[in-house]
Amino acid sequence: MAAIPSRFDRPVDAAPATGDNASQLKLVMFDSTLEAPSRRSPSGLPKPAPGFRRLEPTAALLDDLKAASEGLESASPEEIIAWAVDRYAPYLTMATAFGPEGCVILSMLAKIAPETYVFNLETGYQFEETLDLRDRIAEKYGIEVDLLQPELSVPEYEALHGGPLYRTNPNQCCFDRKITTLRRASEVMHAWMSGIRRDQSPDRAQAAVVGWDKKFGLVKISPLANWTKQDVWKRIADEEIPYNPLHDQGYPSIGCWPCTRAVADGESDERAGRWSGMKKTECGLHSINEQDGSGI
Ligand code: SF4
Confidence at residue 1, expressed as pLDDT on a 0 to 100 scale: 33
**167 CA from centroid of ligand 1 (Å):** 9
- Ligand 1 atom nearest 173 alpha carbon: 1
Contacts of residue 241, defined as CB under 8 A and 6 or more positions apart, other chains included, come to 103, 104, 107, 235
Any ligand 1 atom below 6 A from CB of 283: yes
Any ligand 1 atom below 6 A from CB of 150: no
Any ligand 1 atom below 6 A from CB of 124: no
Q: pLDDT tens digit string along 74-94?
A: 999 999 999 999 999 999 999
Q: Quote the CA–CA distance of 256 and 166 in Å, as a whole number.
A: 10
Q: pLDDT tens digit string along 111-140?
A: 999 999 999 999 999 999 999 999 999 999
Looking at the chain, the whole-number percentage of residues with pLDDT higher than 70 is 74
Any ligand 1 atom below 6 A from CB of 123: yes
**255 CA from centroid of ligand 1 (Å):** 8
Yes or no: say if 286 and 180 are a contact pair by the CB < 8 Å rule: no
Any ligand 1 atom below 6 A from CB of 259: yes
Any ligand 1 atom below 6 A from CB of 16: no
Confidence at residue 87, expressed as pLDDT on a 0 to 100 scale: 98
Active-site positions? 283
Residue nearest to atom 4 of ligand 1 (CA): 256
Q: Quote the CA–CA distance of 250 and 17 in Å, as a whole number.
A: 12
pTM, 2 dp: 0.80
Residue nearest to atom 1 of ligand 1 (CA): 173
Beta strand 146-148 with 117-121 is parallel
Residue nearest to atom 6 of ligand 1 (CA): 174
User: What is the chain's pLDDT, residue by residue, as a tens digit (296 residues)?
Assistant: 333 333 334 433 334 444 444 333 333 333 334 444 445 666 789 999 999 999 999 999 999 999 999 999 999 999 999 999 999 999 999 999 999 999 999 999 999 999 999 999 999 999 999 999 999 999 999 999 999 999 999 999 999 999 999 999 999 999 999 999 999 999 999 999 999 999 887 878 889 999 999 999 999 999 999 999 999 999 999 999 999 999 999 898 899 999 998 886 666 566 666 656 666 666 556 554 433 332 22
Confidence at residue 282, expressed as pLDDT on a 0 to 100 scale: 60
Any ligand 1 atom below 6 A from CB of 125: yes
**61 CA from centroid of ligand 1 (Å):** 34
- Ligand 1: residue of 168, 259, 280, 294 to mutate (most ligand atoms within 8 A of CB) is 259
